[in-house]
Amino acid sequence: MSGLLARKVGMTRVFQDGGAAVPVTVLSCPPSTVTHIKTLEKDGYNAVVLGFEDLKKPRKTKKFRFLREFRVENPSDYTIGDKITVDSLKEASDVKITGTSKGRGFTGTMVRYNFSGGKRTHGSHHQREPGSVGACAKPGRIHKGKRMAGRDGNATVTLAHRPVVTINSDQNLLLIKGPIPGPNGGLVIVRTS
C-alpha cells in the first residue's frame, strides 16, 4: 500500500542505542477500510479509496468521516472491506507527510514573513510596519506578489523524506522524526516516499 491516514497525537523524544535523543511526532494509525477500487480500464488509473474513522451514526451514503484516494500498482491485490494497518509501512524507511498547518489568522509581515520591522528609537512610529512597498511614478503601482500582511497558516503542507523511527503494530502508532504540520488531533496523510 502506498499510504494511509492518521491522526497527530503529539511530540516526544526517543533515545537511540548510543544515547542520542531523537525528537519524534507520534501518529495514531487505526486500520482504514478499502471502500472503492479504481482500475485502469474503468477509471483510467489504478487507485484504492480508503475510509477512515467510522461515523457514530453511519448513513447509507456515508459510513466514514474521511475518504482519501491512494494510487496503487495492482488493484487486484485489494478487495472492498480489506483493513489497511500501519504494518503496510514496514518496508518504508522514510515517508511523505501531508497535513494542514495551524491557522494564525490575519497577521502582519513580522509574523507572516519574518520581517525585521522599523527602528524602535529616535521617535519612530513604524516599529512593526513593512516599510517601502515600491517606487513612486515608475512603475506607479505595487508589483504582484509583494509580501504584505494577510491571513497566515491553514494551508496544505507536504513534507517529504521524513524518517520513520518506530512502528508499533500493537497500538497502531507510527513515530516520525521531527515535527509534522497541524495541531494535535489533526488529520495527516502518510505516503511512501
**79 and 43 fall within a common domain:** yes
Domain count, the chain: 2
Strand-pairing partners, residue 168, are 173
Domain residue limits at 50:
3-105+157-192
**99 and 111 fall within a common domain:** no
**71 and 18 fall within a common domain:** yes
**33 and 57 fall within a common domain:** yes
**80 and 140 fall within a common domain:** no
Query: Tens-digit pLDDT profile for the chain (193 aa)?
Result: 689 999 999 999 999 999 999 999 999 999 999 999 999 999 999 999 999 999 988 888 889 999 999 999 999 999 999 999 999 998 889 999 999 999 999 999 999 999 999 999 999 999 999 999 999 999 999 999 999 999 999 999 999 999 999 999 999 999 999 999 999 999 999 999 8
Q: Give the CA dihedral 44, 50, 55, 61, nearest 10 degrees.
A: 20
Q: pTM of this prediction?
A: 0.87
Strand-pairing partners, residue 151, are 106
> What CATH number does the domain containing 78 carry?
2.40.30
**145 and 115 fall within a common domain:** yes
Cell of residue 159, nine digits: 513534507
Q: Which residues contact 2 (CB under 8 A, 6 or more apart)?
A: 70, 71, 72, 191, 192
**70 and 32 fall within a common domain:** yes
**77 and 130 fall within a common domain:** no
**128 and 164 fall within a common domain:** no
H or E, element range at 43? helix 40-43
**96 and 164 fall within a common domain:** yes
**92 and 111 fall within a common domain:** no
**139 and 72 fall within a common domain:** no
